[in-house]
Chain A
Amino acid sequence: MNGTVTVLAASADTRRGLTIGLFAVFIAITLYITIWASRQNKTAADYYAAGRSFSAFQNGLAISGDYMSAASFLGIAGLIALFGYDGFLYSIGFLVAWLVALLLVAELLRNSGRFTMGDVLAFRMRQRPVRTAAGISTITVSIFYLIAQMVGAGALVALLLGIRSGETFIGLSAGAAKNLTIVLVGALMIFYVTVGGMRGTTWVQIVKAGLLMTGALVMTIFVLAKFNFNPSSLLGAAADQSGKGEAFLNPGLRYGAGDWLTKVDLISLGLALVLGTAGLPHILIRFYTVPTARDARRSVNWAITLIGSFYLMTLALGFGAAALVGTNAIRAANPGGNTAAPQLAEELGGGPGTTGGAIFLAFIASVAFATILAVVAGLTLASSSSVAHDLYANAVRKGDVGEKDEVRVARVAALVIGAVAIMLSIFAQNLNVAFLVALAFAVAASGNLPALLYSLFWRRFNTRGAVWAIYGGLVTAVVLVVFSPVVSGKSTALISDQDFSWFPLENPGIISIPAGFFFGWLGTILSRERDDPKYDELEVRSLTGAGAH
């Protein structure tokens, strides 16, 4: 264990310089793109939806960029490296989820909405209550997701730049360097969003997706080449080096290993993963950036191809890290396994202390930063759009607002949300990143998806149903998490010295998702409101594109 730490430190200076240099290049390119994009932006449709001018392939890349967060790249590779097969469960749920978006949501949403998820939910309802609920739910999901990414950035910087507690870097302690990174990431994302709008943010996603796919592909080929392109010997070597033997390749090391509750928890997690994606506001608004529903479908197909290939590559990265770096060395560098991919890069480049290793590690580290930066920009855009379009323009001003005014509010909202996220992230540094991401998925699946599906497919659905579905799913999910063992009781919990947990599951999905559907149904049948002509309009518009923006 100590050996690894020493060797990692040996090349720290070279690596820091290279990582910072490469990351600076990425920042320079994206800043240039953002300023270029800002010159193209003239209308509200430019700011919110990039003038609906992206091609299906470009948007497919951007969706992949938005979706493959730090949790996907560093998190899943790390989970596989530590727990073997169980890390793979995450990738499967995250990928299959795209079929919900493809078959039920993407095209219909593209045709019936304009800028936000709230557009579709409020289509045939009374605007004010539904817009307010949609805005609150969008912001809640995005903030949880946002904090997860920024905490991840803060935690990784010390490791990737090789700053350990007690050490200093350009005069900064590890803690100060973390905070500085969070502030820097926050400032950059605010700049991308307020200046570049959707067009600039989309290009940042495209550049990032290209970098991430390239990095993952190169590493995958290197790993497979070491095992003569034989997956069986890769898995065998991983099992040997893991210290767990055969069990490393079987389900159950991390999830569902204990009593019946842990198995229910696994199912709950599986449900949240597969149903969360189609309710994530920052993913949904990407469908507005293409000209037609057909392009929305084709962009999801590109996204499925890219994301699926990427998750298959994380298998090689995770098992490769276990086989070549070793599970113990990975755990020694980061107990969560978050540095498995960068450590593997160093090993593939020639090993710790070599120039090749330092270069490869620096490249992968800067790709990881680019990943985080792009995702937080996408999230900030989604939530600030909802503040301006749902809450301000429609709920407060009741649609009586000019485009310029609305976009100005969106920019201010991005600034405020960015600032809030920076502060929360600095205070929330000890939160577990995976917990926040899983919560964001559970909240999206519980609060957004039932309302969205009812809106699109249930004629009888009405204002009360929509409001109850959103708040019912949202509140159930959040309350169950607060009283779960993740927040209190266990030694690994957020507040470990107190125990107010009465809900035994770590993921609330299995209760809160049905709750969202139930409250939506109950609210609907308890209200007499029914607007058949508006549902006719929604159906015709969503399926044919007539009258679509």
Chain B
Amino acid sequence: MTSDVQPGSGRAHSAPGQPTADAYSRMEADPRFRELRRRFRNFAFPWTVAFLAWYLLYVLMSAYARGFMDTKVVGNLNVAFFFGILQFVSTFVIAWLYSRYANRRLDPLAQELYREMGGRR
């Protein structure tokens, strides 16, 4: 870490151990990198849309569907309570799904490309 070069920018490509600008552009065109990017975006983008829509549905119903939200389900526990708890559950589940997906479908490929770019880890 002490060999960190130019802060934040990639200007100092000549530093030892740092890939060149050319190497980055070649890797960006590599079908395996395109595949890695596709896999990442295929998970991250649809799931982001999904959880934001699910959350907004909850907020909108808290504002506009009060009658439904106030309906009792079990004892004193109403729809709003369970909807809220479900937001917690969905957050835990999506985080877990993403980790499983990343471990299986992203990390091995990312590691392979990282090694090829001269990374040692």
Contact = CB atoms under 8 A, between A and B. Distances in A.
Contacts, number: 208
Interface in B95-121: 95-96, 98-99, 102, 107, 110, 113-114, 117-119, 121
Given A103-B47, A236-B75, A544-B110, A539 B37 contact: yes
A114 interface: yes
A221 interface: no
B64 A99 contact: no
B117 A547 contact: yes
Given A92-B58, A543-B33, A98 B52 contact: no
Given A270-B55, A545-B114, A102 B7 contact: no
Given A546-B19, A546-B119, A547-B18, A85 B7 contact: no
A549 interface: yes
Interface in B15-66: 18-19, 21, 24-25, 27-28, 33, 36-37, 40, 43-44, 47-48, 51-52, 55-56, 58-60, 62-64, 66
A103 B92 contact: no
A287 interface: no
A99 B66 CA distance: 27
A301 B95 contact: yes
Interface stretch (A25-33, A411-419, A431-439, A529-537): A529-537
Given A96-B51, A533-B24, A312 B88 contact: yes
B7 A539 contact: no
A311 interface: yes
A92 B83 CA distance: 10
Interface in A493-549: 532-534, 536-537, 539-541, 543-547, 549
A202 interface: no
Given A85-B80, A102-B98, A251-B69, A45 B91 contact: no
Given A44-B4, A51-B1, A304-B95, A266 B62 contact: yes
A488 to B, nearest CB: 26
A232 B77 contact: yes
B48 A114 contact: no
Contacts of A96: 51, 55, 87, 91
A213 to B, nearest CB: 16
B91 A267 contact: no
Given A236-B75, A270-B55, A98 B91 contact: yes
Interface in A90-105: 92-93, 95-96, 98-100, 102-104
Nearest to B113: A544
Contacts of B96: 301
B56 A546 contact: no
A168 interface: no
User: Among A42, A99, A118, A292, which residue has the most Cβ atoms of chain B within 10 A?
Assistant: A99
The 8 A-B pairs of least Cβ separation, nearest first, read A232-B75, A546-B117, A119-B8, A536-B28, A270-B59, A45-B1, A537-B24, A263-B63
Given A127-B8, A256-B62, A297-B102, 7 more contacts: A89-B84, A100-B48, A103-B98, A104-B48, A270-B55, A301-B96, A533-B24
17 contacts: A45-B1, A85-B81, A95-B88, A96-B91, A104-B44, A114-B7, A119-B7, A122-B9, A123-B9, A233-B75, A235-B77, A250-B78, A251-B69, A251-B70, A312-B88, A389-B7, A543-B110
Interface of B: 1-2, 4, 6-11, 18-19, 21, 24-25, 27-28, 33, 36-37, 40, 43-44, 47-48, 51-52, 55-56, 58-60, 62-64, 66, 69-70, 74-78, 80-81, 84, 87-88, 91-92, 94-96, 98-99, 102, 107, 110, 113-114, 117-119, 121
Interface of A: 42-46, 49, 51-52, 85, 88-89, 92-93, 95-96, 98-100, 102-104, 113-116, 118-120, 122-123, 127, 230-233, 235-236, 239, 246, 249-252, 255-256, 263, 266-267, 270, 274, 292-294, 297-298, 300-301, 304-305, 308, 311-312, 389, 393-394, 399, 532-534, 536-537, 539-541, 543-547, 549
